[in-house]
Chain A
Amino acid sequence: MSALAASPAPPALEIRDLVVRYGASRAAKRNPPAVDGVSFDIRPGETVGLVGESGSGKSTIGKAVLGLQPPSAGTVRLNGQDITQSSLKQRRRLAVDLRVVFQDPYSSLNPTRTIGQTLVEPLRVLGVPSREGERRARETLESVGLPADTVERYPSQFSGGQRQRIAIARALVCDPKVVVLDEPVSALDLSTQATVLNLLADLRDQRDLGFLFIAHDLGVVRFLAQRVVVLYRGQVMESGSVEPVTQAPRHPYTVALTSAAPVPRPAEQTARRQAREALGFRTAGAAAGSSTGCPFAPRCPLATEECRTERPLLRRVEQSLTACHHAEQVAALTGAAGVRP
C-alpha cells in the first residue's frame, strides 16, 4: 500500500505479507493459515482499523505484531526496524514504541498489584528512576481522566470503564509511537464505551500516536479510524480510507458487513434490512470455500467460477484497494438493492 501512497515519513508500523499458522503438526499445515499474506502500514499519528468477524485473524495479527505469536512468514517493521523475529527480551529496547490495550479490562490488570506498580513496571524495564516513574504514572492517569491518587489503589476498586482507562494509561506511560488496541471497547456497556471511544479520539487528535484499532464493529471503526483494513478468513478483502470503504464499499464482503450492522432508527433500519435481504448473501458456514479461490465466494451473490478457482489479488478500484474479481459490479449491486439512501 505504501508503494501506491507515496508518503514522505517512513511508516510507524509496516506489515508485509504476514502469514501466521497455528500449530506445527502436519495436520495443522494442511489447514488454511489464520493470517494469510496480510500487508498494511500505519503512518505516524494515524489510526488504522482492522475489522473482521470471528476467525478473520484480526487478533492474531495484533499478537504477531506484539511478538506474542511468532509469524510463519512476512515481516513486521517498527520505525523501519525489522522486529519480526526479535524475542520479547530483545524487544525490550527495540519495541519501546509499541504498546497494547487488550479487550478484557478484568484479566488485563494483575489483581495483586496496585495501579501504580502496574504503570511503573514498563518504565522500570526502561531504567527510569522510580521517583520519575511515579510522577509519570500520575501524569498519565490524569491524562486519561483518572485522579492521580489512583496509583495507590487496586484494580478491584474500579469499574470496567475505569479499568480500561488504566490499561490505556499503562500503554501510554512510556510514550509509545504505536499502540495496538485489541477490541478495547467490546466488553464495555454503551455509555462506558462512548467515553472510552471519546478518550481514544482525543488521544488520537492530541498526540502523535499511531493506533492499530482491532474491532469487529465497523461502526466503531468508522468513528475512530482514518483508514480501515477489512479481513475475512485471514485475508485482506478491502482497505483504504474509512469513508470510501464504509460508504461506497468495493468488495461484497464489506457490503455484507456494513449492511448487517443495525442502526437505532426503526424506519431507516427497516429499509436497510429489506435492502440487505434483497442482496442475497448466503448463510455463513453453509459451505467451506476452496483453498484456491476467494474465501468469500461461497457466500457471495456475485461469485462466478473464476472466484472459486482463482484467488483475487488486491487491486485499486477508485479510492480503495479491493480483492474482488467483480469489484466494478459491487456499486451496481448495492445500487440495485437500494442500500444507498
Chain B
Amino acid sequence: MSVLPLDVADEVATEPAQPSRRRRPPGFLQRPGGLLGAVWLVLVVIASFTAPLWRPYGVATQDLAHRLALPSAAHLLGTDPLGRDLLSRLATAGAEPLLASAVTVLVAFGIGLPLALIAAERGPRVERVLSRTTEVFLALPLIIILLAVIGVIGSRTYVVMAVLGVLISAAVYRIMLGVAQSVRQRLYVDAARVNGLGSLRVNLVHVLPSMATVAAVQAAQLFGIGLLINAGLSFLGFGPAEPQPSWGLMIQDASAHVYDDPWLMVPSGLVLSLTVVAANELVDAIAGRTTKGRVRTRTRPVARVAAVDRGGRASAALEVRGLTVAVDGGPTLVSGVSFRVQPGRVLGLVGESGCGKTMTARSLLGLLPEGVSVAGGAILWQGRDLAGLSERELNAVRGREIAMISQEPMVALDPMFSIAYQLVRPLRRFRSIGRGEARRVAAELLSQVGIVDPERVLRSYPHQLSGGMAQRVAIALALTGRPKLLVADEPTTALDVTVQAEILSLLRGLVQEIDLAVVIVSHDLGVVADICDDVAVMYAGEVVESGTAAAVLDDAAHPYTMALLRANPHVAEGHAVPVRLASIAGTVPAPGSWPAGCRFAGRCRFASDACRVPFVPLPAHGGGSVLCIRAEDLARENATWERERAGAEVGAEVRA
C-alpha cells in the first residue's frame, strides 16, 4: 500500500541478488569448506566406481604372509586379518554405499518434493491430509522398520535403502512444503498463472528453481545420513556377504582387532567419516551462500570534526551542523547536513528513497545501523554534542529527552505484552512513580493521543489494534519520557489516508500543547505541507534546499524541488488535473559515486558547466538555503520544470 523507503545502508551492504551467475563458479565452491567437500566427494566417487580398473589386487586375493600388515610399497594401506589388500577392498566397497545413499536421496525427494508442491498448490485441505499422513511416517522407528524389511526380503541393499528413502520422504516433505508455500506467495507465480501456464510448468519454471538451495542442502545432508545408515547395516551383518567388501564390515573387522592392530581402523574409518563430513561441509557452504551474514562489529566513530561553539543558540532546541554519516570504511551516506529545530516547531526532512533522510534522523538518537556511524559534524542538543556521546550517555537521552516513532507502529510494540504493561514499564522508569500512579498516567496519555476508551485499549494486545490505533499508542509510548524532541520517521506512510489525517492532526496538537520540537521524515510533499513549519529537501545525502515550508513549496528555488512538486499528481479541489506529470530522467546516484559538483546536475534540465565544480549553498527563503549555483538565474528567468508532453513515454528515447 505504501512507499517503503529502502534503507540506504541496506542498499550499500547487500549485494545485488544474482547478476551474472553464469560466468562465475557457484558461490559455495568459493568457500574452502565447500570446495574441499566437493573435491573429496568427487574423488571418492571416481575412485570407487573405477576401482575394478586400477586396484592392485582382487578383493579376495590373500597374501597370507602379510596379514594385518602396516602400509608398505606392496600394500599402500596395509592388509586385513586375511591378508587382503585394504586399498583395493576399500575402493571397491565404496560404490555400493554411494549408490545406495543416492537411491535413498532420490526416493526421498522423488516422493517428498512432488507431494510438497502439490500440497502447496492445492491449499489447506489437501495439505492437511498429506501432513497428517507424513506425521505417521515420522513417528516410525527407522532402524527397526529397516531390520523388519530385511527380515522379510533379505539383505538386498538397494531395496532396503529405497525403503529408507520412503520413510525419510516424510521429513523432506515437511521441509520442502514450508519453502514451496513461501515461494508460491511471490507475485511472479501469480503472474505466471494469469498468463495461463499449466500447473506443471508453473512448478517447474517458477517454484522449483527458488527451492533449489534448500533442496540441495537437504539432499547433501540426507546423503551423509544414508552413508552412515548403510555402513551401520553392513556393520550389523546386513550388507554384502564375504568376501565382497563393504565399509561397515571392514569397520567391524577393525573393531575386533582394535587392540592388536589399531591401524586397521584408520583407512576405513577415515574414508567413511571424511565422506560424511564432506557432505556436511558442502551443506554448510551451500546454505551459507544464501544466508551470508553481515557480521560487523560496532565501532564508535574515530575521526570527527570538533564541535565548535558548544551551547549553540539558545533559541534552537536542536542544531545539526555539517553532519556526515558514513559506512565504516565505506561510502559516505549523508554529507554536510545542517539544520535547526526550535521548540514548538516541526521540521520536515523530505526526499526520495536513498537520499539519506532516514540516516540523518536516526543519527539524532545514535540509532544508526551496524557498521554505519557519524563521521563528522555536530548534533548540538541542550549544550551537548550528541555525536560525541557514548552509548551509555545516549541511553540517558533517548526516550527522556528525544523520542522516536517509526513508520511501522507495530514494530514499536511488543506483541507479547498488553498495552498497559508496555506503557507502565517506561513510565515507572522515566518518571520514578509507582505502579498504580503509572497506570493512571498511562490512561491519561492514551486520552491525550485521542483514544476515546483508554481503559479498553490498556487491556488489549497490539494485534487487537488497527494501524491508526497502534500509531496512537506508539506516540503515547514516545511521550512517556516527556521528550522535548520527537523524531518521526515516515509516521503515516503505512496508514490509510483518512487515518493519516487524524495522526497529523494529533501531532500538530501535541506540538502546540507541550511545545514539542519535531523532526519528521517524509517522502510525501502533501504531508510536509500539512504539518511542517520548516523543511529541508534532501538529495543524494545533502540538503539541497531549506526554509519555511510555505516558502520552499510555494516558491521552490532548487530544480529538484521544482521537479518533485511538478511530479506530484495531487491537486486541490477546483484545480484541473495535469495531463502529464513532470519526470526526472535517470536515478539518484548511489552513495560512493556522487559527482564532484552538484549531485543533481546529471539529471537536471538546467545544468551547465558551472554546475560540475563544487560550490557552497546560497542563502534563500529568508533563513534558508539553496544548493544551486544557477538559483538566481533561474529565479530571474522564472524558469519552471515543465511537465512532460503526452506520448513522450511510448516509444520514447532509450533510457539508461
Tell me the A residues contacting B by CB distance below 8 Å: 53-54, 66-68, 88-89, 91-93, 95-96, 98-100, 102-104, 107-113, 118, 121-122, 125-126, 142-147, 154-157, 159, 161, 167, 170, 183, 186-191, 193-195, 197-199, 201-203, 205-206, 216-220, 222-223, 246-247, 256-270, 272-273, 276-277, 281, 283-286, 339-341
List residues 529-569 of chain B with CB under 8 A from any CB of chain A: 529-530, 549-550, 553-554, 563-565, 567-569
Total contacts A-B at CB 8 Å? 258
| Chain B residues near A121 (CB-CB < 8 A) | 192, 195, 197, 205
- On whether the beta carbons of B19 and A156 are closer than 8 Å, the reply is yes
Cβ A261 vs Cβ B497 within 8 A: yes
Q: How far is the CB of A201 from chain B (nearest CB, A)?
A: 6
The 5 closest A-B pairs by CB, nearest first: A262-B526, A92-B196, A264-B525, A194-B567, A53-B496
Query: Which residue in chain B gives the minimum CB-CB distance to A180?
Result: B194
Find residues 615-656 in chain B having any chain A CB closer than 8 Å to their own CB: 644, 646-655
Task: Find chain A residues with CB under 8 A from B197 CB.
Answer: 121, 125
**Shortest distance from the beta carbon of A171 to any chain B beta carbon, whole Å:** 9
Measured between C-beta atoms, what is the minimum distance from A198 to chain B in Å? Answer: 5
Q: Which residue of B lies closest to A123 (CB)?
A: B195
When distances are taken between beta carbons in the complex, the residues of chain A under 8 Å from B580 are: 198, 201
A272 to chain B, nearest CB (A): 6
B467 and A54 form a contact (CB under 8 A):
yes
The reply on B352 being an interface residue by CB < 8 A is yes
Within 8 A of A (CB), among B474-533: 496-502, 504-505, 523-530
Residues A108 and B651 in contact, CB atoms below 8 Å apart: no
Instruction: Tell me, rounded to whole Å, the shortest Cβ–Cβ distance linking B583 to chain A.
Output: 4
Q: How far is the CA of A212 from the CA of B582 in the complex (A)?
A: 24
Which stretch, B35-43, B133-141, B183-191, B262-270, touches the partner chain A? B183-191
| Inter-chain contacts of A284 with B (CB < 8 A) | 466, 468, 496, 498-499, 502
| Interface residues of chain B: helix, strand, loop or mixed (majority) | loop
- The number of chain B residues touching the other chain, given as a range, is 35 or more
* Cβ–Cβ contact B16 & A198, under 8 A: no
Report which B residues bind A (CB closer than 8 A): 1-4, 16-19, 186-188, 190-199, 205-206, 209-210, 352-353, 450, 452, 466-469, 496-502, 504-505, 523-530, 549-550, 553-554, 563-565, 567-574, 577-584, 587, 644, 646-655
Chain B residues in 8 Å Cβ range of A156: 16-19
B353: A residues at CB distance < 8 A: 189
Residues of B within 8 A of A142 (CB): 651, 654
Identify which of A99, A197, A198, A247 contacts B573 (C-beta below 8 A).
A247
Contact indicator A265/B194 (Cβ below 8 Å): no
In the complex, the answer to whether B450 meets A283 with C-beta atoms within 8 Å is yes
The answer to whether B198 touches A89 (Cβ under 8 A) is yes
Give complex CA distance A104, B2 in Å.
10
For A113, list chain B residues within 8 Å (CB): 205
Q: How far is the CA of A118 from the CA of B569 in the complex (A)?
A: 31
Centre residue among B193, B469, B526, B583 by max chain A CB count within 10 A: B583
By the criterion CB–CB under 8 Å, are B497 and A257 in contact?
Answer: yes
- Verify B646–A262 contact, CB threshold 8 A: no
Contacts of A53 in B (CB 8 A): 496-499
Interface majority SS on A: helix, strand, loop or mixed?
helix
Give the most central of B353, B578, B579, B650: most A CB within 10 Å. Answer: B650
Nearest chain B residue, comparing its CB with the CB of A219 = B570
| Residues on the B chain within 8 Å of A108, using CB | 186-188, 190-191
Sample 11 A-B pairs with CB under 8 A, ordered by A number.
Answer: A100-B194, A110-B210, A190-B352, A194-B581, A198-B648, A199-B650, A223-B577, A262-B524, A263-B571, A264-B525, A276-B501
Given contact pairs A108-B191, A201-B580, A266 touches B529 in the complex (Cβ within 8 A): yes
Q: Are B650 and A186 in contact (CB under 8 A)?
A: no
Complex Cα spacing A200 to B370, Å: 40
| Contact in complex: A268, B572 (CB < 8 Å) | yes
A309 to B505 alpha-carbon distance, docked (Å): 32
A188 engages B572 (CB within 8 Å): no
> Looking at the complex, which one of B187, B584, B647 makes contact with A191 (CB distance below 8 Å)?
B584
Q: In the complex, what residues of A have CB within 8 A of residue B499's CB?
A: 53, 284
Q: Which residues of B contact A193 (CB under 8 A)?
A: 567
**In the complex the two chains form, is A285's CB within 8 Å of B466's CB?**
yes
Chain A residues whose CB sits within 8 angstroms of the CB of B205 once the complex forms? 110, 113, 121
Q: Check if A205 sits within 8 Å of B646, measured CB to CB.
A: yes
* B residues near A340, Cβ cutoff 8 Å: 573-574
The answer to whether B352 and A189 have CB atoms under 8 Å apart is: yes
Residues of B within 8 A of A206 (CB): 647, 650
Contact, CB under 8 Å: B565 / A264: yes
Known: A220-B569, A263-B570. A107 touches B655 (CB 8 A): no
User: Known contacts A92-B196, A191-B583: does B647 contact A205 (CB below 8 Å)?
Assistant: yes
| Complex Cα spacing A191 to B353, Å | 11
Which residue of chain A is the closest to B579 with respect to CB atoms? A201
CB pair A223 B569 closer than 8 Å: yes
Q: Contacts of B652 on A, CB cut-off 8 Å?
A: 145
Apart from A111-B17, A142-B651, A340-B573, list 18 A-B contacts with CB within 8 A: A53-B496, A89-B196, A102-B190, A110-B209, A112-B209, A145-B654, A145-B655, A159-B587, A167-B191, A189-B3, A189-B523, A191-B583, A197-B569, A202-B648, A223-B581, A262-B500, A281-B498, A283-B502
Give the residue name and chain of the B residue nearest to A265 (CB). Answer: B529
Name the B residues within 8 Å of A103 (CB-CB): 187
From B501, B502, B553, B581, give the contact of A198 (CB < 8 A). Answer: B581
- Are B650 and A143 in contact, CB atoms less than 8 angstroms apart? yes
* B554 A222 Cβ-Cβ under 8 A: no
- A113 → B minimal CB distance (Å): 7
Report yes or no: A219 in contact with B650, Cβ–Cβ below 8 A. Answer: no
What residues of A have a CB within 8 angstroms of the CB of B196 in the complex?
A: 88-89, 91-93, 95-96, 122, 125-126
Asked whether, in the complex, the Cβ of B651 is within 8 Å of the Cβ of A269, the reply is no
Give the complex CA separation of A217 and B568 in angstroms. 12
In angstroms, Cα B583 to Cα A188, docked, is 13
Residue of A nearest to B501 (CB): A260
**Nearest Cβ on chain A to B654's Cβ, whole angstroms:** 4
Once bound together, how far apart are the Cα atoms of A327 and B466, in whole Å? 29
Chain A residues in 8 Å Cβ range of B650:
143-145, 199, 202-203, 206
Contacts of A273 in B (CB 8 A): 501, 504-505, 530
* Cβ-defined contact, A100 with B528, below 8 A: no
CA distance A339 to B17 in the complex (A): 49
- Chain B's closest residue to A258 (CB) is B573
Closest to B4 in A: A187
Nearest residue (CB) in A for B353 is A189
In the complex, residue of chain A having the shortest beta-carbon distance to the beta carbon of B185 = A107
